[in-house]
Amino acid sequence: KSDLVGLPEGVIEAAAQEAEKKGHAGKWLFNLQAPSFIPFMQYAQNRELRKKLWMAYNTRAFRDSFDNQELVKKIVRFRHERAELLGFTTHADFVLSERMAQSTEKVMDFLNKLLVPSRKAADRDIAELRSFKKSLDGNDEVMPWDFAYYSEKLREKKFKYSEEELRPFFQLENVIEGVFEHARRLYGLTFREVVDVPKYHPDVRTFEVREERTNNYVGLFYTDFFPRETKKSGAWMTAYREQGYSNGHVRRPHVSIVCNFTKPTASKPSLLTYDEVQTLFHEFGHALHGLLSQCTYRSLAGTNVYWDFVELPSQIMENWVREKEGLDIFARHYKTKQAIPPELVEKIKKSSQFQSGYSSMRQLQFALLDMAWHSQNPTLISEVDIFETKVTDPVRVLPKIPGTNSSVGFSHIFAGGYSAGYYSYKWAEVLDADAFEYFQEHGLFNREIADKFRNFVLSRGGTEHPMDLYKKFRGREPDPQALLRREGLISL
């Protein structure tokens, strides 16, 4: 049990349950799924176990019996061949022909513009963390398996709160009620749980969505929030039935959001971290994009938009839980029912820029790696790891550990839809930061601005070019400075 020192009680309890399910009662099981892996890296004092778990995560599918290296090379080769058959020079050129960014050159220019302020801020972040670690341990070496642990301690010191201090205010049931109330205030939607709808698992819940003013039926909304065997990690939105016309009749959508939150136990409800609250709001934004669609063709409805536009409806929703006005709607202590204290909200706001340089560089590193895989002739790439190292070393903030590789587990671009599209996360951050400033200028729940966002973004799907839709909403093109201001990467 000494190996568990530092871990929150809820994390230990969940690990005990996992061990018992596997036939190891009286022990604790930690795995590579986010609800287990992330808190272990943040809180476990045992450095060797942190390293062991981190290495297990970062050596997945690399030089073992499940090695993905040849699959990675085969995937990029086939993509390149398809692009050439269709008249494009590279897979990136093929993909970007139907994106807001339009070309590889524009994407690289966009990423490079963010690199300079991000690198400066990231260097400051790491220098601060090294100094802090030296004050605690006598040495300033920060390895990848140290980063989350010492970052959490530094966050606690700087802002006088921990992620675990926030959990009691984020009971899952309250957060669900809160996200529904946000949808009501912004878009006039109501959610009523229904129990007579077929479900694929007992953990799934279903809600009927209607217009508050007219009671018109909007769609069906599913939630699936807890990990289980055979369920993949992460969080996502799925449309089981997309909105559109069929045989002359409008078919309203059936959409779902799937997450992997800590399951309630006999002694404690499901309490989310602040990051998990943001995740729920993020995926709910995708769900709204699907639910509020008003298109003729299902192929153009809902989230069927250019890939670098699809994250705007989701990422903008995260902004409301950075604001006191948004948190006050649902953040209350699960035992005392006390609203989240204003001073704690202020600490959240101040800490929102904590290590934003490092976070930005990490995302830029992934985006550049993605573009490198898909913007050149893959027949010239012989070794996956050598290629990755060459691409990422110039933008890496922490050292690359021999024997690890991220490409072989980069499911976003090799098993998902983000090939030559990972940059779209930063692209969408620019869009959502700029769009949310519009709400801040007129009121966070200003119905007029929300109606414009609904009418010109959420309801139109892919029926118009996204830049045209954005300009109809905002009155101009997005301003990249909005993101740099929000993240504290430039002075206001």
**Shared domain check, 289 and 216:** yes
Residues 329 and 435 in one domain: no
Name the domain boundary from 351, 370, 388: 351
Residues 173 and 306 in one domain: yes
- How large a percentage of the chain has pLDDT more than 90? 90
Domain that holds residue 444: 61-160+353-492
In a shared domain, residues 293 and 377:
no
pLDDT in tens, 247-291: 889 999 999 999 999 999 888 999 999 999 999 999 999 999 999
Task: Give residue 62's pLDDT.
Answer: 97
User: pLDDT digits over 24-44, tens only?
Assistant: 999 999 999 988 999 999 999
**For residue 373, pLDDT beyond 60:** yes
pLDDT of residue 224: 98
CATH number for the domain spanning 488: value is 1.10.1370.10
pLDDT value of residue 1:
86
471/399 same-domain check = yes
Tell me the percentage of the chain whose pLDDT exceeds 70.
100
In the set 283, 311, 429, 487, the catalytic residue is: 283
Q: Are residues 234 and 362 in the same domain?
A: no
Report the alpha-carbon distance of residue 358 to residue 457 in Å, rounded: 31
Last residue of a domain, one of 292, 319, 351: 351
168 or 164: which leads in pLDDT: 168
Kindly give, in sequence order, each residue whose CB lies less than 8 Å from that of residue 136, ignoring residues fewer than 6 positions away. Answer: 150, 153
160, pLDDT greater than 70: yes
pLDDT tens for 329-346 read 999 999 999 999 999 999
CB atoms within 10 A of CB 445: 17
Q: Are 225 and 270 a contacting pair, CB within 8 Å?
A: yes
pLDDT of residue 186: 99
**In this structure, are 341 and 364 located in the same domain?**
no
Q: Phi, psi (5° rounding) for residue 377? A: -75, 110
pLDDT band of 470, cuts 50, 70, 90: very high
Same domain for 236 and 311, yes or no, is: yes
- pLDDT tens-digit map of 87-111: 999 999 999 999 999 999 999 999 9
Q: Helix %, strand %, coil % for the chain, to 5? A: 55, 10, 35
Cα pseudo-dihedral 136, 142, 143, 144, rounded to 10? 100
Q: What's the rounded mean pLDDT across residues 69-75?
A: 98
144, 398 Cβ separation under 8 angstroms: yes
**For position 103, what pLDDT does the model report?**
95
Q: What is the pLDDT of residues 388-400, one digit of tens each?
A: 999 999 999 999 9
Same-domain status, 408 and 488: yes
Average pLDDT, integer, range 111-127? 94
- CA 433 → CA 182, 319, 459, distances in Å? 18, 8, 20
Among 26, 43, 58, give the residue marking a domain's end: 58
Give the pLDDT confidence of 415-426 residue by residue, as tens digits. 988 999 999 989
Can 70 be counted among the known catalytic residues?
no
Examine the domain organization and report whether 323 and 197 are in the same domain: yes
Which letter does DSSP use for residue 253 in this model?
P
Total domains present in the chain: 3
pLDDT of residue 184: 99
Cα separation, 219 vs 210, whole angstroms: 7
Strand partners for 237: 257
CATH number of the domain residue 200 falls in: 1.10.1370.40
**Rounded distance, CA 260 to CA 33, Å?**
8
- Residue 492: pLDDT band (50, 70, 90) is low
Per-residue confidence (pLDDT) for residue 293, from 0 to 100: 98
Q: How many CB atoms lie within 10 A of CB 64?
A: 10
Tell me: do 53 and 67 sit in the same domain.
no
Q: How many Å from the N-terminal Cα to the C-terminal Cα in the chain? A: 48
251 and 144 assigned to the same domain: no
Select from 124, 132, 143, 139 the least CA-distant residue to 354: 124
Average pLDDT for the chain: 95
Residue 358 pLDDT grade (very low, low, confident, very high; cuts 50, 70, 90):
very high
- For residues 35-59, give the mean pLDDT: 96
Residue 250 Rama label (left phi>0; alpha psi -120 to 50; beta): beta
What pLDDT score does 34 carry? 87
